[in-house]
Amino acid sequence: MEPDWDDLKVFLAVARGTSLSAAARLLKRDPATVGRRIARLEEALGAALFVRTPAGYGLTEAGGRLLDHAEAVEQAITQGAEALRANPGQLTGQVRIGAPDGAAVYLLPRVCAAIREQHPGLELQIVALPGVVNLSRREADFAVTVTPPTAGRLTVQKITDYRLHLAAHRDYLARAPEIRTLADLHDHPLVGYIPDMIFDKALDYLSELPVTGVGLASNAVSVQLAFLREGAGVGIAHDFALPHVPELCKVLTDHFALTRSYHLVRHAGDRRIERLARVGDMLHAGLRAEVARLESLT
């Protein structure tokens, strides 16, 4: 028996979810039904597609080979549906973007709003995570990352560099001890990440400073800026976020500055799907322009 598209959908759901329950939620079916469908597919193909472990379902060598073909079928069906759209110039469908919360809160809303204004049939979703989404499991169609991944069938495209500086509320600076050198930071409460929750070493900003300990911490950039907005101390802020909090001022700009980069990551085969290829190009150009626009205001 040759597998049909419904068989392959079940297979892809388990491969991406790494469990029957996760696949069942995606397919809106019962986990037992998903398990029976996988067993039937394996029997029909005469090969084990998954290794069952306490951690979940992992692909066998045969499953890995089938995955490439199943994703090719998925892409062909998606492309066929897009080719039959009533208005071929307009993009439709759901696109999910995973990003660190700094980019998700201060960059992506404006970029996505502009894209949807041009293509109102699109459903754009921003997943703001203090970690990294798993594209292999199709948790998102795109990911914005600071450190580019080195494994997986992914395409990585650098978006742009962005800058960070020390910042504090102007009222705090008026009443607190003067800050003339980096050594003066020892006299000020520091705001930053929770050390053991830093998911990317490139985000360990405070390790660049001659300080130990963080008095006020959060795993979310927006919360760190809220601390600074309350006049709670000094912290490192993205330059592109500062126009959103005009009461904050940069500190020691001649002594300290950081540069990091954002990258746009997508499934390698998705460039062949018109909708995702075009959205990816618009995201790349939009994010690059938005960083430049906001940094020019600081």
Please write the tens of the pLDDT for every residue from 127-175: 987 566 666 666 788 999 999 888 777 889 999 999 999 999 999 999 9
Amino acid at 115: I
Query: Which residue carries 């193909």 as its tokens?
Result: 45
Query: Which residue carries 């075009």 as its tokens?
Result: 278
CA nearest neighbour of 8 among 68, 81, 96: 68
**Helix, coil or strand: residue 142:** strand
Cα 282 to chain centroid, rounded: 16
Q: What is the pTM of this model?
A: 0.75
User: Do the Cβ atoms of 51 and 58 come closer than 8 Å?
Assistant: yes
Q: What is the pLDDT of residue 117?
A: 95
Checking if the pLDDT of 29 tops 60, the result is: yes
Query: Which residue carries 């049909």 as its tokens?
Result: 4
Exposure class string for 132-144: b at 16+ Cβ within 10 A, else e: bbebbebbbbbbb
Q: What is the pLDDT of residues 241-296, one digit of tens each?
A: 999 999 999 999 999 999 999 999 988 767 667 788 899 999 999 999 999 999 99
DSSP state of 37: H
Q: Are strands 154-169 and 248-251 parallel, antiparallel or unpaired?
A: antiparallel
Structural domains of the chain in order of their starting residue, each with its CATH number: 5-83 (1.10.10.10), 93-160+261-295 (3.40.190.10), 161-258 (3.40.190.10)
User: Do the Cβ atoms of 137 and 17 come closer than 8 Å?
Assistant: yes
Amino acid at 71: E
CB atoms within 10 A of CB 213: 10
CA nearest neighbour of 94 among 138, 133, 134, 34: 138
Cα distances (angstroms) measured from residue 252 to each of 28, 165, 170:
55, 8, 14
Q: What is the pLDDT of residues 214-225, one digit of tens each?
A: 889 999 999 999
pLDDT, averaged across the chain: 88
CA nearest neighbour of 48 among 11, 23, 97: 11
